[in-house]
Amino acid sequence: MTTATLTAGADATSDARARHDRAFLGHPAGLGWLSFCELWERFSYYGMQALLVLYLGNYLFLPENIGHVAGIDALRAAIESVTGPRSTLQLASAVFGLYTGFVYLTPIFGGLLADRVLGRTRTVVLGASLMALGHFLMAFESALLPALACLLLGVGCFKGNIAAQVGDLYAPGDKRRASAFQIFMLAVQIAVIAAPLVCGTLGEKVAWHWGFGAAGVGMVIGLFVYLAGRRWLPPEPQRGRAAARPPRIPLGRRGVLQVVLLVAILPLLMLSIVGNQQFNNGYPLWSQKYMDMAVGGFIVPVTWLQAVDALVSTATMLASLAFWRWWATRRTEPDEITKIAMGSFVAACAPLLLLIPALSIEAGGAKISIMWTFAYTLVNDIGFANIMPVGLALYSRAAPRGLQGVMIGIYYLHLFLGNNFVGWLAGLLETMPGSRFWGLHAMLIAGAGVGLLIVKLVFGKLLAPDETPTA
């Protein structure tokens, strides 16, 4: 029996087992373990992210403190060689944008490392360990750049590979795949609710380093969860010498065109999420200046706005899951590209809502009510629920065998591009009126929706889902 036959037999056995494994909400048990691990990893990430731009802009990058940061002069010179001189807040937004952008570039290399050398499980463990180290290094002002480097490398090893393992739980034609990624994203939403409340409160109300330390503890818990659930994870693909000579499964012309198209639509996906990603960069800085954060005499920490966003997005993700399950029982469910386009049009309405208070501020009005946060997040999160997880499902399904980790990493490139773009856009807040700023975001997001509909009309058949029955 040839290696190809053995591999095909193993894949068939694994696929059959996955189809009949419904131990976790009708899904394989491994989805529960992977989702719970992702919850803690995202707790650590979003806990740190909730603090980072405020920590840099309000403390570490102030003239009396910035000299403590090893290597910051070289980084600032590199940034300003491209952007020109940066104020304290502009430098904070630029560094934040670079960090949150590169977080989504490194998974490509993590996917290659897993697919060709270490395997997914060991690469995920390596990534979790590096991230825990990075979070604890944030406790030292001088170690900012080494800490961010550890976090970037760790996310690169972790992020794409754990998402690829979710995809590996399902056969190519398994209709549960899209809902699996929405469940996976629900774990992320729970983390985003808790992280700003815990890490953000500790950082803003006690000390910055307490917040970063709490994020590190969350990452350690996530590592232990992952190790405890290893027996339920999908089997590892071949790697090393065997992976260097895998059974040849030609992509063919159609397969090559599919991969090219998935890469080509990344700029549209980037534009579709600029409103959502701005919530972590320019929005807290804008809110800090123009929003009345007092509720019944209590001053709400700015970092709690992200918890509000997460709470609302959890509800909208659940509502989206329920809606599409209901829709599928009555009509044909739209393909992924159509869903993402629909989500983009909804998300474009969120920054449009901010035009109203922005115009009031420009007319000399008082600070705006915190209720605008709820309006913005509700509309944005309805759209985002049909963008991010649906895109993950698309790239997981369309990825060639043996390149799933790399293709998921390529998908995350739109977040790399988007976060860097958002970092640049946030710098416009100091010179551009708020109404123009948020109107620009609405135009960009709606433009992404139009572009995706054109892709659907012209190339719809090329990315059509495989209708293979799943038993």
Q: Per-residue pLDDT tens for 183-241?
A: 888 888 788 788 888 988 898 888 888 998 899 999 999 999 999 988 888 877 655 54
User: Taking all residues of the chain, what is their mean pLDDT, rounded to a whole number?
Assistant: 81
Task: Please give the pLDDT value at position 246.
Answer: 46
List phi, psi (to 5°) of 27: -125, 165
Confidence of residue 470 (pLDDT cuts 50, 70, 90): very low
Residue 463 has pLDDT above 70, yes or no: yes
Residue 401 has pLDDT above 70, yes or no: no
Task: Please give the pLDDT value at position 10.
Answer: 40
d(CA 134, CA 35): 22
Task: Please give the pLDDT value at position 441.
Answer: 92
Task: Please give the pLDDT value at position 171.
Answer: 76
d(CA 19, CA 36): 21
Name the more confident of 154 and 377: 154
d(CA 42, CA 44): 5
d(CA 89, CA 96): 10
* Residues whose CB falls within 8 Å of the CB of residue 340, separated by 6 or more in sequence, listed in order: 269, 272, 386, 387, 390, 391, 394, 452
Name the more confident of 73 and 301: 73
Task: Please give the pLDDT value at position 466.
Answer: 57
Global model pTM greater than 0.75: no
Burial class (CB in 10 A: 0-12, 13-18, 19+), 45: buried
* Residues whose CB falls within 8 Å of the CB of residue 6, separated by 6 or more in sequence, listed in order: none
Which residue segments constitute the domains of the chain, with CATH numbers given?
A: 29-236+253-463 (1.20.1250.20)
Q: HSE, CB side, 13 Å, CA atoms: give it for residue 324.
A: 22
Highest mean predicted confidence (pLDDT) among 25-29, 333-337, 447-451: 447-451
Residue type, 403: L
Q: 432: which 2 tokens? A: 């551009």
Confidence of residue 471 (pLDDT cuts 50, 70, 90): very low
What is the average per-residue pLDDT within 176-184?
79
d(CA 327, CA 338): 14
Highest mean predicted confidence (pLDDT) among 51-65, 135-149, 252-266, 439-453: 439-453
Confidence of residue 270 (pLDDT cuts 50, 70, 90): very high
Residue 7 has pLDDT above 50, yes or no: no
d(CA 60, CA 138): 11
Residue 113 has pLDDT above 50, yes or no: yes
Core vs surface per residue 104-123: b (16+ CB within 10 A) or e: bbbbbebbbbbbeebbbbbb
Task: Please give the pLDDT value at position 400.
Answer: 67
Residue 167 has pLDDT above 90, yes or no: no
Task: Please give the pLDDT value at position 131.
Answer: 93
Stated as kind and residue range, the H or E segment containing 44 is helix 29-55
d(CA 289, CA 368): 10
